[in-house]
Structure 1
Amino acid sequence: MSGTFESFGRIRRHKRRGVDPNSAMEALRVGRCEPAGLLAFGNGRSYGDSCHNDAGSLIAMQRGAQIHAFDPTTGIVDADAGVTLAELIEYAAPYGFFAPVTPGTRFVTLGGAVANDVHGKNHHKRGTFGCHVESFELLRSDGKTHHCTVTQNPHLYAATIGGMGLTGVILRLRLKLTKVSSLDIEQRVTPFANLSEYFDLAEAADEENEFAVAWVDQLATGRFEGRGVLMTGNHADNGNFSAKRSRLPLRVPFDLPFSALNRTTLGLFNSAYFNVNKRKTAPHLTNYQSFFYPLDSIEHWNRLYGPAGLYQHQCIIPSDAARSVIPAMLAASRDAGHASFLTVLKRFGHVRSPGLMSFPQPGYTLTMDFPNQGEATLRLLDRLDRMTVDAGGRINPYKDQRMSPAAFEAGFPEWRQLERLRDPAFVSDFWRRTALALGADAAAPMAQYARGHA
């Protein structure tokens, strides 16, 4: 079977070879592996090439996936890895439960959420998705299904959470959900005039609220530079557990021949978005879909970036450097002539993930999306990488399409441990161009990186 199996960034678009999950599992159990390797593929919400294996095959994990059991006394659900977060929310809502951690789209699979150890607006309270994974069944090319927990096969457990699908196939998992008083969110919007004002607000906002995230006007200059809105929220007390999915009111029905997102259109959008939201300062009720997944209401919204696709750059900057580095990164993107549709700023807390390669660490994470303008965009992204590494931060590998091996190693020196635990039958395009390009005897990463980008 073949298909596009696109990543959300749509940078490299071509048909890829897929295999039915039942056929793949049967082959793995008898030790009959593909020469060019396998990789599980969820729902294609990764932005880069960590979900691709162009030389080999992708296992289409959504086929036949189902929820097997749920215990409303403990909140533990037993589900196949191909179940989506949207399906899980609809299933658990009538019992008064919600996902403990959710990324900005509900259309990810549970296996993908584990493999990318996703985070959300409540990292400061709940950590990453992996913090709530009780156990999972991992099928490897040795033909065995390994039951993995913190105490049973602990090394495989840690390597798989945030391991980008490289340790084998997650067949099913047990996840502890969170009991909530409502799916609705009581939200407060606080405008800020500049980033210094945001940083003054951020820590207190995290302490007082379950959820917090900021939108920043990346294009604003002069007296408006660094303006944005801080959105905080907590589950309401109104007992509303209706999780019925709203019909998608908007849709980008076809591929645009050009990017609709440029400095002019985004400048107008940013001004309108800031001015509308700065008037919503009184606490107000909003449904969970609008609060957590605003862009899920626009089907195929990534087509707005045009046929060349988009690059997303997400980094983490340590707290002591964030006040100077993050404004400089916004300025660098403007100087390069690039406009970011989504510029999101969040504070990561100190809840430690059980995953070996989890992206979050204490500090501030900045996310920007750029239409692909070829070499100009790649030069900008390299510059943002240098600023991140120089500040002692790291770039999110789960959203990357092009970072250098040295930049990857500078942020994730643990990659060798993952390589030792990687299933030899599983590989991705990301791993080939970063970790495998480094080799086992790679030199000191920071020195290499500095020399290569002097």
Structure 2
Amino acid sequence: MSWTPTDYAGWGRALRASGEVARPEQLHALAALDAAPAMGMRRSYGDAALNNGGRAIDMSRFDRLIGFDAESGILEAEAGARIGDIAATFAPRGWLPAVMPGTGFATIGGCIAQDVHGKNHHHMGSFGQHVTEITLLQNGAETVTTPGSALFEATLGGLGQSGVITRAKIRMIPCKGDVMFVTERRARGWDEHLAFLDASTASYTVGWIDATARGASLGRGIVEEGETGAGIVRVSPKSRAVPMDAPHFALAKPIVKAFNQAYYHRVPARGRTVVKPLAEFFFPLDKIHDWNRLYGKRGFHQFQCVVPLASAPALRAMLEEIAASGLASPLAVLKRMGAGRAGYLSFPMEGYTLAIDFPNRAPARALIKRLEAMTAAAEGRLYFAKDSLAEGAQIRAMYPDLPKWQAEVAKADPDAALTTDLVRRLNLRSA
């Protein structure tokens, strides 16, 4: 197995790396490699999967589905298997992954390493809470870890620092079919938006928020509530690709404001219920390949935080800051989260999470720094899968179980061979 000099980036493309990358296909080839951090489809936005100047292992060829037990709903899959492929394969058979992030390109290994959440966190918790077994490659040999062990908790949300994930068993949940019945309602402002999220009893709930709206319209958006269904065939729209990096003015303030205005009014004032293909609801941007190129060659940053329920006014203040800046993009999401989390460094907490993209420009980076400080003051957290600008001192206060993670990782990887750019930037492995 050879190492190939490669230039690569996270999904935000603002942070990049150069180094040697190997792409093994079989366990014996993987085990023969020198220890190095693993990566999947690099759907983390920042530098979580980067190792600039060092080596990295591309696990995307470890994508086989090993076995499924229809009695228990347990699926065993290799680390590089994609969530979207699993959903497309099993939904017609009446099963779905219990938790799915916003892109179907996320791999099993990536979902574990970030302990991802989805549109049903208020009911189902995080991805790791439905993992029943993880197999790690440590020092050239496989180790199996299960719930209840410190190694298991260090691996879930653990940024790949406890070993290279080779395969895992996850608990699937029954579904009615491979289409979604989606009820869409306009939320006219911040208070109504939160009220809709708080009152939702749907299996899946998510809010799109117009981050350009101000005054009485601050926080307006569209709340979507979804349930799986069957018996109706709806053809998915053809995938499209962004052929080139968009010019600097493509996300200028007037253009974004006009787009958000039109997008908000696409839903009638009385609301509506529509039928969507499963992928269109769960992974709406996947149909636009390389959509990250819309932010131009300099890339973009995403800010995502979660704050406790009692800190909702702080989140509103963040939104006021964003709206006043004129820097927001059309991609902004608000969700209500439950308490579920599986690992020492898992992101979720019971509260509200806001995620929003910003073009990679100096004013936007300064704004994100202010938003991060506001998150810390509100006793919230930043999401490692999205972060590219935070500082280690802030993160340490947000993750009180960090010392437990550090202790376990030090045993699993004593030479720090699995350290990534994000881990170095945030100084996570240092006491």
Q: What's the TM-score bracket when you normalise by the shorter of the two chains?
A: over 0.9
Paired residue for 1:147, among 134, 141, 144? 144
Q: CA deviation at 1:105?
A: 0.7
**Identical positions, percent:** 35
The two structures have a TM-score, normalised by structure 1, of 0.88
Contact 1:211–1:234 at 8 Å: present in 2 too? yes
Tell me, what secondary structure is at the counterpart of 1:304? Answer: helix
Contact 1:213–1:344 at 8 Å: present in 2 too? yes
Q: What amino acid does structure 1 have at the position aligned with 2:228? A: H
Say if 2:154 is the partner of 1:156.
no
Residue aligning to 1:331: 320
- Structure 1 pair 128/280, CA: closer, same or farther in 2 (3 Å)? farther
The two structures have a TM-score, normalised by structure 2, of 0.93
Say if 2:333 is the partner of 1:354.
no
Say if 2:381 is the partner of 1:394.
yes
Say if 2:271 is the partner of 1:268.
no
Distance 1:337 1:219 in 2: 7
Q: CA deviation at 1:24?
A: 8.7
Residue aligning to 2:210: 217
- Structure 1 pair 284/335, CA: closer, same or farther in 2 (3 Å)? closer
Residue aligning to 1:117: 115
Question: Deviation per CA, 1:242-283, whole angstroms, max 9, x where unpaired?
Answer: 8997531x2111223425222111101100000112447132
Q: CA deviation at 1:18?
A: 0.5
Q: What amino acid does structure 1 have at the position aligned with 2:264? A: F
Residue aligning to 1:42: 40
Q: CA deviation at 1:368?
A: 0.8
Alpha-carbon RMSD across the aligned residues, in angstroms, is 2.1
Residue aligning to 1:227: 220
- Structure 1 pair 209/145, CA: closer, same or farther in 2 (3 Å)? same
Q: CA deviation at 1:47?
A: 0.3
- In structure 1, the gaps of 5 or more residues are 441-454
Distance 1:195 1:106 in 2: 30
Say if 2:416 is the partner of 1:429.
no
Question: Deviation per CA, 1:118-173, whole angstroms, max 9, x where unpaired?
Answer: 100000111111111110111112x331111114xx11111101001111111111
- Runs of at least 4 residues of structure 1 off by over 4 A? 22-29, 242-246
Paired residue for 2:299, among 295, 306, 309? 309
Residue aligning to 2:430: 439
Distance 2:106 2:309 in 1: 29
- In structure 2, the gaps of 5 or more residues are none
Q: What amino acid does structure 2 have at the position aligned with 1:10? A: R
Say if 2:351 is the partner of 1:363.
yes
Tell me, what secondary structure is at the counterpart of 2:385? Answer: helix
Distance 1:364 1:233 in 2: 19
Residue aligning to 2:88: 90
Q: CA deviation at 1:70?
A: 1.3
Paired residue for 1:54, among 25, 34, 52? 52
Contact 1:161–1:357 at 8 Å: present in 2 too? yes
Residue aligning to 2:404: 417
Contact 1:125–1:349 at 8 Å: present in 2 too? yes
Distance 1:72 1:4 in 2: 42
- Kindly report which structure 2 residues correspond to 1:1-12, keeping only aligned pairs within 5 A, or say none: 1-12=4-15
Contact 1:259–1:306 at 8 Å: present in 2 too? no
- Structure 1 pair 280/175, CA: closer, same or farther in 2 (3 Å)? farther
Q: What amino acid does structure 1 have at the position aligned with 2:40? A: G
Residue aligning to 1:444: none
Distance 1:16 1:245 in 2: 38
Question: Deviation per CA, 1:327-379, whole angstroms, max 9, x where unpaired?
Answer: 211121233331232111000013x32212110000000111000112x2221
Q: What amino acid does structure 2 have at the position aligned with 1:359? A: F
